[in-house]
């Protein structure tokens, strides 16, 4: 027997939780909505896993970071879903999606039918085993995506007190986990192939600050090479990391953060794709009863007049809300405004906190105090394209200053003199 729902959200991450809250706001009736998740817990704020979840003192634990606390909203405990008549179908992996018959089939053979589907399957991590890296299946090589991954890493940190960790990758996960491992008194070496950290966003000038800051915290950074193999001890636990440049690093723990890819395999050949699942400004796919949100959606970025896929929690939250508003409006013969997203990225590690808004294309200027040894560093960068500011980055900003750089990125004010812009720095943003 198929279980039938008016709406099904496939995936149980951040986007699913924010979509559920919006459905509740819009007056979903009991029994109409189900969330199907392969995780065993109700939707939670995933960014906590690489930060407070691994703290040595008072680590964050559920139910503390269920959605929607990440955006200052009410915390949706499992009971909330019950009260709203929303069915949480947990520990359930969907292995087949048949969009023509509007049905999903689980690993245990259950069938779920829907009238409207929201695909919120997110990203999956890229694993070194995918590339056949020698020894990459050793114990204590970790990836971080779900709460189970964080639990295993937490236990390893406790078991390997004062041990050595090698962090493979210099992006978000690499930087955040290197910091949290160091807070746990683990000896940390970061390894990445690029000339500087966070190369998809940071300029060389911005990266120089973070690399200097991390070095001052005792983190060893090795750039321009990759891990090509691992050796294990007699228990099958990782013992060494072999680098392409010939170096061999001791390791009790290895954490890999080399990127992710959208989880779209279930829907291949059934919906139009372009990097992810292609949608319109309401997150509707080329099938009128199927929507895609968060990491899997390639959508029109109105501000820049192009299609983009954005992997970030902020977009996951907002796209989910937009899709639900659009679904409910369409049922009433109405429309909602097009999604008009300003790209936004942020990170926190040690005592640092940065925010970025807009597009990181064109020429750049750096302003402020970016000395890694400063007691309270505060610096930023503007990106200028076609004589206009199109992006802005700020480390150490106050809420008001962060709001000011967001306004600049949205307004795209003209710039006559780049040297003058560098001199004005933050005060330029404050005038917009």
Give yes or no for a contact between 251 and 242, defined as CB atoms under 8 angstroms apart: no
How high does pLDDT run on average in the chain?
A: 97
Work out the widest C-alpha separation in the chain, in whole angstroms.
Answer: 69
Give yes or no for a contact between 115 and 210, defined as CB atoms under 8 angstroms apart: no
CA 259 – CA 244 distance, rounded (Å): 19
Q: Is residue 340 part of a domain?
A: no
Q: Is residue 40 part of a domain?
A: yes
Question: For residue 1, what pLDDT is reported?
Answer: 78
Taking residues 215-226, what's their average pLDDT?
98
pLDDT(306) > 90 = yes
**CATH classification at residue 401:** 3.30.390.30
**The domain containing residue 425 runs over which residues?**
351-430
Place 142 in a pLDDT band, splitting at 50, 70 and 90: very high
Q: Are residues 13 and 114 in the same domain?
A: yes
Cis ω for the linkage preceding 63 (within 30 of 0): yes
Q: Are residues 281 and 238 in the same domain?
A: no
Place 301 in a pLDDT band, splitting at 50, 70 and 90: very high
Number of domains in the chain: 3
Q: Are residues 139 and 238 in the same domain?
A: yes
pLDDT(164) > 90 = yes
pLDDT tens-digit readout, 59-112: 999 999 999 999 999 999 999 999 999 999 999 999 999 999 999 999 999 999
Domain C-terminal end among 331, 362, 389: 331
pLDDT tens-digit readout, 365-388: 999 999 999 999 999 999 999 999
Q: Are residues 376 and 403 in the same domain?
A: yes
% of residues, the chain, pLDDT over 70: 100
Q: Is residue 338 part of a domain?
A: no
Q: How many Å is the Cα radius of gyration of the chain?
A: 23
Q: Is residue 339 part of a domain?
A: no
Q: Are residues 173 and 321 in the same domain?
A: no
Question: For residue 432, what pLDDT is reported?
Answer: 84
Question: Euclidean distance between the first and final Cα of the chain, in Å?
Answer: 59
pLDDT tens-digit readout, 340-351: 999 999 999 999
Q: Are residues 149 and 240 in the same domain?
A: yes
Q: Are residues 142 and 206 in the same domain?
A: yes
Place 323 in a pLDDT band, splitting at 50, 70 and 90: very high
Sign of CA dihedral 10, 12, 15, 20: positive
Q: Is residue 344 part of a domain?
A: no
pLDDT(297) > 90 = yes
Q: Is residue 75 part of a domain?
A: yes
Residue 83 CB contacts under 8 Å (≥ 6 apart), including other chains? none
Q: Are residues 110 and 181 in the same domain?
A: no
Q: Are residues 248 and 272 in the same domain?
A: no
Domain C-terminal end among 258, 273, 290: 258
Q: Are residues 305 and 246 in the same domain?
A: no
Q: Are residues 102 and 144 in the same domain?
A: no
pTM: 0.96
Q: Is residue 209 part of a domain?
A: yes
Q: Is residue 345 part of a domain?
A: no
Domain C-terminal end among 298, 331, 364: 331
**CATH classification at residue 30:** 3.50.50.60
DSSP string, 314-342: HHHHHHHHHHHHHHHHHHTT---PPP---
pLDDT tens-digit readout, 236-270: 999 999 999 999 999 999 999 999 999 999 999 99
Q: Are residues 271 and 370 in the same domain?
A: no
């Amino acid at each position: 027997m198929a279980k039938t729902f008016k709406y099904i959200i496939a995936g149980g991450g951040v986007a699913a939780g924010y979509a559920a809250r919006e459905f509740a706001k819009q007056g979903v009736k009991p029994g109409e909505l189900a969330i199907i998740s392969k995780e065993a817990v109700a939707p939670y704020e995933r960014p906590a896993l690489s930060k407070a979840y691994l703290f040595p003192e008072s680590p964050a634990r559920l139910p503390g970071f269920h959605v929607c606390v990440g955006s200052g909203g009410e915390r949706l405990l499992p009971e909330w879903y019950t009260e709203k008549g929303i069915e949480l179908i947990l520990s359930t992996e969907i292995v087949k999606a048949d969009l023509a018959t509007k049905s999903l089939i689980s690993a245990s053979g259950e069938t779920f039918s829907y009238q409207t589907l929201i695909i919120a399957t997110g990203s999956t991590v890229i694993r070194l085993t995918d590339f056949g890296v020698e020894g990459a299946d050793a114990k204590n090589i970790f990836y971080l995506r779900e709460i189970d991954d964080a639990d295993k890493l937490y236990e390893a940190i406790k078991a390997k007190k004062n041990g050595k960790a090698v962090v493979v990758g210099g992006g978000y996960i690499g930087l955040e986990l290197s910091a949290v491992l160091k807070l746990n008194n683990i000896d940390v070496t970061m390894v990445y192939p690029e000339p500087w950290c966070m190369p998809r966003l940071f300029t060389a000038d911005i990266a120089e600050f973070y690399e200097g800051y991390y070095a001052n915290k005792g983190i060893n950074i090795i750039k321009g090479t990759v891990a090509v193999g691992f050796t294990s001890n007699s228990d099958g636990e990782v013992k060494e990391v072999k680098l392409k440049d010939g170096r061999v690093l001791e390791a009790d723990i290895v954490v890999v953060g080399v990127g992710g890819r959208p989880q779209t395999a279930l829907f291949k050949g059934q919906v139009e794709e372009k990097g992810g699942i292609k949608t319109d400004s309401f997150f509707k796919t080329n099938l009128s009863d199927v929507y895609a949100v968060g990491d899997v959606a390639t959508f029109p970025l109105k501000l820049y007049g192009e299609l983009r896929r954005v992997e970030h929690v902020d977009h996951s939250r907002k796209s989910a809300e937009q899709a639900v508003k659009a679904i409910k409006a369409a049922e009433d013969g109405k429309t909602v405004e097009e999604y008009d997203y300003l790209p936004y990225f942020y990170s926190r590690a040690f005592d640092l906190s940065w925010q970025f808004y807009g597009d990181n294309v064109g020429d750049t200027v750096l302003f402020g105090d970016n000395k890694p040894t400063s007691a309270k560093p505060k610096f930023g960068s503007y990106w200028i394209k076609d004589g206009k500011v199109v992006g802005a980055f700020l480390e150490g900003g106050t809420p008001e200053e962060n709001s000011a750089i967001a306004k600049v990125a949205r307004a795209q004010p003209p710039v006559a003199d780049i040297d003058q812009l560098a001199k004005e720095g933050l005060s330029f943003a404050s005038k917009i």
